[in-house]
Structure 1
Amino acid sequence: MTPAQPLGMPAPLDGMVPQESAIGAEQRTLSLYVHVPFCSVRCGYCDFNTYATDDFGNGVGLETYAQDACAELDFAQQVMRSSALPERKLHTVFFGGGTPTKLPATDLVKILQRAVELFGLEEGAEVTTEANPDSVTAEDLQILAAGGFTRVSFGMQSAVPEVLQVLDRTHTPANVPKVVQWAKDAGLQVSVDLIYGTPGESLEQWEKSVKAAISYAPDHISAYSLIVEDGTKLAAQIRRGEYEMPDDDLMADMYLLAEKHLTAAGYSWYEVSNYASSRETRSTHNFAYWKNQDWWGVGPGAHSHLNGTRWWNVKHPVAYSGKICLGQSPAAAREVLGEKTKNFEDIMLMVRTIEGYSINKLQQVHGQALDAKLQWLLNQDLVEPEALKNGRLVLTLNGRLLGDAVTRELLPEL
């Protein structure tokens, strides 16, 4: 079961965006997200728009995806020109899913090359694809690197078979170091994703996974806490009592353990769940989201954003392909964000990063009430004193553990 889409206003069939979308566009970057909805198996915790099939019937499936994605790219260029947005080269490109590498590597390169033909690519731009460790060969990675990809993100999740089994992950843990080395040999930067807090996972098992990931020497490691979404298989299993979620104390211990080992190994946090070996290996694409830059999302269920106008594509690949073939916008609906909502989202996202948030901007939101809020946060050891002196609000380690509480304290009322 895929998640329900948000409600919104009807989206025009011609895809035209409001005039406000062009205001200040020269100061914003433009990124591309490509959603590939195919998976070999749908994981029990996953609530993304994914499907464990290669053929949806009606002539739509894995073999036709690249054609449809390229057609949406053509449509995107037409919309942005007609909407008077200035031409901008792509700042970052990210292929997510699903499992993008279910597509042949040549199809991924074909989509990327069409995007570059239409929009151009900034010099040194980050171009990433996600991959399952069992879904790529050394040859695939060589093709991706030769075709313009610069980075691959492997969904490792855990090094412990019992934990992977609870998550319904089907890859073989022993394949992870092998594919990481293949990617390095191809000249790609490498990220690995870990998940902690799986039902039944012990602190010792989590430590084994963190140490394993570090031993592969990737450029970047993400360590996400498991969030069980309604409607997923895992949520139903927990509701039936088959599994029990770990308590908050264990989750905190897991985060602190990852922080200790990652820091000792030379990785530095730059967002609550993300660590990089250097400033150069931080995910530039993630920052484009966190800073509310512009991006176009290609594919079924993909989301796009242009200066406060946000829309999302129809979810089912057959419906998506049908609209694309008719030359219509594949958007299901859209919304235009007000200033309060923009401030709300800016704070919610940037407070979690090493860059933190501007005190001046917070002052505009909270006025005189801000001083008391900042003093409380300082007293609780949730924010860095030196950063505050320099006009930024940056979380301490304790603040990262209690990041949701800090954010609630700072968010404006909508």
Structure 2
Amino acid sequence: TMPPHRRASSPLPCARARTVAVVIALACVARAAPVARAYSSRAGSCEHAAVSHGPEGPTAGAGAYALRLGAPGVNVPGATVAVELRGARAFKGFLIRPVRADTDEALGAWGAAMPTGATTHGECPMFATHTSWHQRGVTSTVMPWIVPTLAKGETVRFEVTVVESYSRWFSFETTFMSGASEGAGDASVMFDPERAPAVDGEARAPDGSRAETGRFGGGNGGGGLAPGSGGVKADAAAEETLSNARFVHGVLMGLAWLIVSPGASLLARYGRRFDQWWFKAHLNAQCAAVALTALSAYLIIHVRGWEKPWGPHGRYGMMVLVVGTIQVYGGVSRKSIPRPAFKIWHRVLGVGTGALAAYNCNIGANMLARMEGMDPSSVANGAPRIVKLLVLVILGTGVMLERQRRVAFGRLKSVKSMV
């Protein structure tokens, strides 16, 4: 039989291999996790027809969508006119680029008081795009656009990209010629009184003319909000609900996979000297992490809509939930599984699940910062740094405890070799 000191020292090679695997996995998360490109709060590019998800190119044609310009169109420099994007089907994202037809130079400016669901693009403010509220889907958006000074005969081209769903989007162009009848706009396109831009501070034509204010009609028979309907308040409340759900989802996921689950794993490896309670604490903590994951996933999916396709963040999250559930089931049923096989797959799945969860938390933190961090003072801007800090704390704690464990094994080996 193997001498006692040999038996005591035999776990070291396996322990060393597991430590290296954990260090590599966590280091990759801490150092190499990329910034997530999540654009549900705006278009991801300033280029026309540059949607990065779904099919490789747009669905042919303009689909059921059209862009119309309110009176006086492009014929009155400095006037604030209504630009309406309307569809027979709801759309969830858009990018509108007004450019000079012959040079592609950006033209005009968007009014300061954009309607709910619309804003200027942060990287190219001459273009209009959607906000996160737009994910719920709308059939029309009317925005204020300030007409530039144009020579007679010059043409403005509105390049429009419309996202109907994650996998279906369209791109089309609409042109208006200055000084021509087709450049005069459509008098039926009007601002809704609940969403009309503010009068103060808006650019106007020399004679003070601007697009008429009232319910916008035409097209598919209206679609504006009646005065006093409370539609703007409802829109704001829905957007605030979605924003709050994102924060709660992020906090719960961070708590589950950056505090509770890593703590339970460290306890299972380094807390075995507390024989009376370490396993129950480990199992209960991992059950809590899986339960928090399920609750958090249900919350965000319910608020944003069950019909919306999942991106990488959602798919990774589902993988973590499924494998985490398998891990919990394995822990409960461990006595019915051969011990050597259980130890191998339980540890491999545990390390893999923890690394994937930390990586996905980093993706989610960057998404939160991009969606909710438009205000520089928002706490969402610090989410990526918080995630990386917690990962480094986990990594540092694991290295420190593993070093102490090896020292203890070394002392035990020395004592037994003297016996």
Write 1 or 2 for the structure with the bigger share of helix.
2
Q: TM-score, normalised by structure 1?
A: 0.22
Write 1 or 2 for the structure with the bigger share of strand.
1
Q: TM-score, normalised by structure 2?
A: 0.22
Structure number with bigger Rg: 2
